[in-house]
Amino acid sequence: MIIIEEFSPTAVKIMLIFLYTGSVCPQELELEDASDVMQLAEKYNIPALKTMCEQDLISRYLITSCFCQLAGSKKRRATI
């Protein structure tokens, strides 16, 4: 039996799914788990999983940033 205590059960589950299937459904990777999964990938030397998490976090950041900018523009009554 292997016990991994420093990460959430969800993050470990996602890592195992990736190891068995080679992919993870984006809907399974919640924002709060992406960081843990990326740390697991680093710890256990799974570069493809780490890259997938990095790309997911970057895309979420870009989308969030766009929405924040749009909301700020609306507050300032921007016309563009």
Per-residue model confidence as pLDDT tens digits over 18-64: 999 998 877 777 877 888 998 999 999 999 999 988 888 777 776 66
**Token digits for 38?**
């990326």
* pTM of the model as a whole: 0.70
What are the boundaries of each domain within the chain?
Answer: 9-75
Q: How far apart are CA 19 and CA 43, in angstroms?
A: 14
Between 14 and 54, residue with greater pLDDT: 14
Q: Does residue 2 surpass a pLDDT of 90?
A: no
pLDDT for 30 equals 80
